Chain A
Amino acid sequence: MDRGVLMASVGSQPSSGLSPAMAGMEFSDAEVMLRVRTGDQSAFDYLVQKYRRPLVGFMYRMARNTAAAEDLAQEVFLRVYRSRETYEPSAKFTTWLYRIATNLAVNHARDTRHERPEVTVSIDEPDEDTGATFEVPDGTLTAEQAMVRRERLLAIRRKVEALPERQRLAVIMHKYQQMDYKQIAEVLKLSESATKSLLFRAYETLREQLKEFV
């Protein structure tokens, strides 16, 4: 996850062009971050392009709405930028990045703990809360099927949200950010075995509580 191929000619995923010095070479994100430290703006843009989508996704599942998720993801990048001068590649870049993200997400969750808006969604409108449209492109779902699907989505979201903080973080990183035990352990400052059991318990809870939707 940490090692990205920085090809200036390669298109979409990180799409920003890098400075000529870096184009066509392979760098780890930590090395790119050291370029940011020397004032290379294109290196920072590269990191933004590479991690904006995963970070918005992470924040979206930790916060409760899209606007807050984007705000928080931007805040992560601002903090990365602010700490460019003192960045030391002692940990994997993504571990460091997700530690910043986790702190912001946890803070936000604690600050907004009491704001629990009731979810209201209609079938054909994009849901403010889940960001999902319940319309199916080929239109094969009946209104009733769409309703069932909506119920299921809300249940998934609520059950993940109801997990204890650390379990929720671990599940989101594992399931949706494709991070392995080792990395999650590093971000959460836990042992690997503690992380394994944390995840195991979390999935057991989810399996049990979502049984009716399987």
Chain B
Amino acid sequence: MARLIRRLGRRVGRMVEELGRLAEFTGHIVTVTMRPPLRIREFVDEVFKTGVLSILIIGISGMAVGMVLGLQGYTTLVRFGAENSLGAVVGLSLIREMGPVLTALLTTGRAGSAITAEIGAMKATEQLDGLRMMAVDPVDYVIRPKAWAMVVSMPLLSALFIVTGIAGGYVVGVDLMGIDSGTFLSSLENAVDFRDDVAGSIIKSVIFGTLVGLISTYRGYTAAPTSAGVSAATTSTVVIGSVSVLIFDYFITALWGV
């Protein structure tokens, strides 16, 4: 028992230490961000890689989730004779929860892992040390554009997920189940509050973007400079990224009611 507690204590200690280093890393990114040059070109490249290249997977997933929501929502609502509220149910669940959370999970798997692997490989091949020797801070040149691209892409991808999701719900509710199109849309329109739901959704996905951006760059930057090290770091990004998105989701919802 005592040994168990001691082991647990050591583990918690290491976690706190790691959080401290992550905070330091975050501070470093903020510091270099406030320094010129702006690195627009690198930033745009990264937005392309994390954002644009994720459009297809996000669009298809959004559509599929929206259709499932339409189907499940309809079969539940019809029992209470409330199928006219399907628009509200589909819209609200997508905007408040499904959109930001599922987008964050998908983006962690697709773009977060890629960021970690790329930075880790650059470290293993001494490209980061090469930058240092050219008097260029790798956190400035490599990390900063990737982290910010994640922060910016996440809300945009989440919006895409929500829009395609609502379209999917509409197809199932209106075209398949025969709900009146006007009824579906007005139920959606009346239920969604801009300040509470839409702004909250955007804030959520910006927080998730920050979280995933930080975790994926940090894991790559601190990866052991070997093939196995890079592989472990990539796995860890997906696991820690996904779990912390889910945990943060609970706390944001509980604290801010989004």
Q: Do A and B come from one complex?
A: no
Which residues of A are in contact with B by a Cβ distance under 8 Å?
none
